[in-house]
Structure 1
Amino acid sequence: MGVTPFHLVYGGETVISAEVGIEYDRVQQYDADNAERRQLEFDLVNETRAKAAAQLTTYRQRMRQRYNRWVIPRSFQVGDLVWRKVKLVGDVGKLEAPWAGSFKIVEKLRSGAYYLEDKDGR
């Protein structure tokens, strides 16, 4: 969009304290004409916000499509045997097995979550 988050919230760009002390161009050139331009910017801020929201929606859709193109959906049923990913904690070396198994699915809790029990019934 080419605008800052500050502009989207307040309708204009900020003047930082360093610019005020140095008499930056934006501070030196401020007059009544600038007040009129500021009012026009305030009138256009809703349009700028709408454009930013549309661009964000488009970006999210592209990211969702890119993600869904590479993800392979998997679904398991009660009774299936699966391996469980082991989280590396502490002194576990990088050459150790990243999976533990095999586990039997006892209950499907919610999408992608399962209650497991090992082969021995624990």
Structure 2
Amino acid sequence: MAPKEGIGAMPFHLVYGGEAVIPVEVGVESDRIQHYNEDNAKRRFLELDLVDEARAKAAVRLMAYRQRMKQSYNRRVIPRSFQVGNLVWKKVKPVGDITKMEAPWAGPFTVVEKLRSGAYYLQDEDGR
């Protein structure tokens, strides 16, 4: 099984600290079962000491991957700001039985208040 992109270690290894042995390998003598000895147990305990380090490395790689994804997404975003009194259209998310011919927006709405978070309070033509 190949490692997940951006993480670098297999999930089983991150959780349990070792390689998974599938039931087929237990029933049929594989190399892993045939060449098992007590030194493997000692090596296993040494590997368990390194599990926390492997998890930390995977977490760092995952954060770097998420940062690259965020930068890639934000590069394509076009920032827009509106002032109080501007007329705007609001995008309508399709719910239920909406046909292709219906407009994907509603409005016009008047910007009533601009919030610090980048959100806006809107008012329609009827004052709602």
1:24-43 correspondence to structure 2 within 5 Å: 24-43=30-49
Letter in 1 for 2:30: Y
Q: Work out which of the residue numbers 33, 42, 60 in structure 2 matches 1:54.
A: 60
Asked if residue 65 in structure 1 is aligned to residue 71 in structure 2, the reply is: yes
Following superposition, the deviation at residue 112 of structure 1 comes to 3.8
TM-score in terms of structure 2 length: 0.79
Following superposition, the deviation at residue 85 of structure 1 comes to 0.8
Higher strand content, 1 or 2: 1
Equivalenced residue count is: 122
1:102-117 correspondence to structure 2 within 5 Å: 102-109=108-115, 111-117=117-123
Asked if residue 93 in structure 1 is aligned to residue 99 in structure 2, the reply is: yes
Asked if residue 9 in structure 1 is aligned to residue 18 in structure 2, the reply is: no
CA distance in structure 1 between the aligned counterparts of 2:62 and 2:94, rounded to whole angstroms: 36
CA distance in structure 2 between the aligned counterparts of 1:2 and 1:61, rounded to whole angstroms: 16
Asked if residue 84 in structure 1 is aligned to residue 90 in structure 2, the reply is: yes
Asked if residue 45 in structure 1 is aligned to residue 51 in structure 2, the reply is: yes
Note the residue ranges of structure 1 that are not aligned, 5 or more in a row: none
Letter in 2 for 1:97: A
Q: Deviations over 1:19-77 (max 9, x none)?
A: 21223332232211211221221222222222212211211221121112111122223
Note the residue ranges of structure 2 that are not aligned, 5 or more in a row: 1-6
Following superposition, the deviation at residue 7 of structure 1 comes to 0.4
